[in-house]
Chain A
Amino acid sequence: MEKLFPKLQIINENGEWNDETYRSEITEELTKELYKKMLRSRLFDRKGVNLQRQGRIGTYVPFEGQEASQIGSALAMGEGDWMFPTYRDHAATMTFGHSLKTLFLYWKGRQEGCIPPEGKNIFPPAVPIASQLLHATGTAWAEKLKGTDRASIVYFGDGATSEGDFHEGLNFASVFNAPVVFFNQNNGFAISVPIEKQMKSKTIAQKAVAYEMEGVRLDGNDVFAVYFHTRTAVERARKGEGPTLIESVTWRYGAHTTADDPSKYRDQNESATRREKTDPILRLERFMKNENIWDEKWAEELHESLTAEIEAAVKEMEETPAPHYNDVFDHVFAENPWPIESQKEAYAHSRGDR
């Protein structure tokens, strides 16, 4: 099965060409855009971990190491398409339009963090594993019924493929030929459980076979591979050729969340090695150096301006006024039924507010 589903690559770990199919499209502009987006998300992510350590936000879910998977795939989506992220996919959602402030607000325990910008179809992060695959299938199906050419992309981890919802999502998408891209980030672990304990199959891509859909396995740390192969899947979906299951093989360097200690269940030296060998940002840097489009000054300035952008977002997040308790009550239904209305009144009364 590993032979049937090889790990597709466009540039290798040393930043050298492996597949030149898309050479003409891999411009300096695109390369720099991808580099910028990956660096932006990495700096954001590190800030998130720091803010949690300082007690300025709650539990945070880091994605460092998975930037290429998230950004390459998100960039392959178009205006009006749908995105269904998990709790770990802020690099994807910021690429698709979420503001950094909104993302920080989410981790500050604010409901506002679930609201996408006007015109962006980004669902709130899925917290229960695999539940979102069916929503992506449903929205994609709706677009098909409405006769548009819009597609949906849905993110999920390797652990998610064990849930019933994963299989139901793929099966429905297949039966109804829904224009959806199932984007799996195989980062090797579901909290502490390594993929070998999660499933006996060697790849996730092969699970597509059972549902008679396209299955693609790719190097998830090669942003070009992710971008172009996801784009192909999206195009296929738009043309009515059905769903695709993409397995993007990557790695999370750090903890599952800031509440987790990875040294309990794996040797963190592996992460250190990977930082040097397969890091997605470093790989792009190597590529840019090989292609003579690397500019030290440009990189430094980029770093500075991104840092400033992130600091500004933190400030905005921290200056957002505390929410009013009426937010607990006022959005459960379109109109408050009497039990909620009377609980709301009683609560205000108990505080001496009414």
Chain B
Amino acid sequence: MTTAVDTKKLTMVQAVTDGMRVMMKEHENVIVLGEDVGQNGGVFRATDGLVSEFGEKRVIDTPLAESGIIGTSIGLAMNGFKPIAEMQFLGFIYPAFNQIMTHASRIRARTLGHFTVPMVIRAPFGAGVRAPEIHSDSVEALFTGMPGMKVVVPSNPYDAKGMLISAIEDPDPVLFLEPMRCYRSTKMDVPEGKYNVPLGKAARLQEGSDVSVFAYGAMIDVVTKAAKSAEEKGIKCDVIDLRTLYPLDKDMIAESVQKTGRAVIVHEAPGTGGLGETIMSLINDTSFLYMKAPVERVTGFDTPVPMFALEDHYLPSADRVVQAIEKVTQF
């Protein structure tokens, strides 16, 4: 292939904006709605400029009501629109939980495919930015445990745009989680037009033969650092960015652990009921006889995310990940 693609250096939050812009240009029925998404361009500027480009009929400041935003988006989606609903923070999605759980995720099943809800819910999430209380919750597992929802978490600008486009094209409801800590942490070359990063596919960030390290979102940065320290100690990590949390990329997970025989899973959400447990059961189902050590998890605790004076204790650190890597290799 020789075709050069024009690219722009973008942060993740700019890449998200770009993903929406590309799809709104292409499809009249794609609309954006939420609190402060219009003139203000969203509290993180994720919808910056969209209202001047597409007008107030397609970029809509709604009243302050999450259940209202999601409930009406369900109606809009059932009736020809493709709503991209912004939750200002994932920690404020709870008033909408009822709508997502009892309707968005199961209308297709309830009507044997007669009615569907092709919508995207975007939400910034995660700790580590010294945000006030509740703003930092990582409750992705509430949604991966919800039948009928796809849940995705990009960790870099390129994936963010490509996965958002795939989410918008997806015929089912997708929860698109944006780690706040990654919003402006790096810039990356991002193609200008439309491209897809498929949902359901993990990405191998680093090839290694000793231990498989699984993470997503803001934890990618932490595990990348940990893998580097491990390498200095002679341990080679196979680092996998899961990217889609439901459905998980079962094939890549199995392929990786069958090669290394060891696994460390890292997420900042609470350990109990977290994604780590699901991944462990996948490893058990697919690769039990390949394993040389019990799987280790480094996760947030079964506690509310504390206020920021304590949040560094809550968040998995590279040190803790390195300790887990050493533990599985020394087993």
Contacts and interface: CB of A to CB of B under 8 A. Distances in A.
Interface string A163-205: 1110000000000000000000000001111000111000000
Contacts of A323: 309-310
A164 B135 CA distance: 20
Interface stretch (A76-84, A105-113, A222-230): A105-113
Contacts of A190: 35, 64
B130 interface: yes
A162 B66 CA distance: 9
A111 to B, nearest CB: 5
Interface string B308-327: 11110110000110010000
B306 A340 contact: no
Interface stretch (B6-14, B39-47, B208-216): B39-47
Nearest to A162: B63
Interface string B122-140: 0000000011111100000
A264 B35 CA distance: 15
A307 interface: no
Contacts of A159: 63-64
Contacts of A198: 63-64
A350 interface: yes
Contact of A162 (B64, B301, B306): B64
Interface residues of B, number: 41
A170 to B, nearest CB: 15
Q: Is the interface of B mostly helix, strand, loop or mixed?
A: loop
A197 B95 contact: no
24 contacts: A109-B130, A109-B309, A111-B306, A111-B307, A127-B133, A128-B91, A128-B134, A129-B64, A190-B35, A191-B40, A192-B36, A192-B61, A197-B61, A197-B63, A259-B43, A264-B41, A323-B309, A325-B310, A328-B303, A328-B306, A328-B310, A328-B314, A329-B303, A350-B319
Given A190-B35, A339-B272, 7 more contacts: A59-B131, A59-B132, A128-B91, A163-B66, A193-B61, A198-B63, A325-B313
Interface of B: 35-36, 38-41, 43, 61, 63-68, 91-92, 94-95, 130-135, 271-272, 301-304, 306-311, 313-314, 319-320, 323
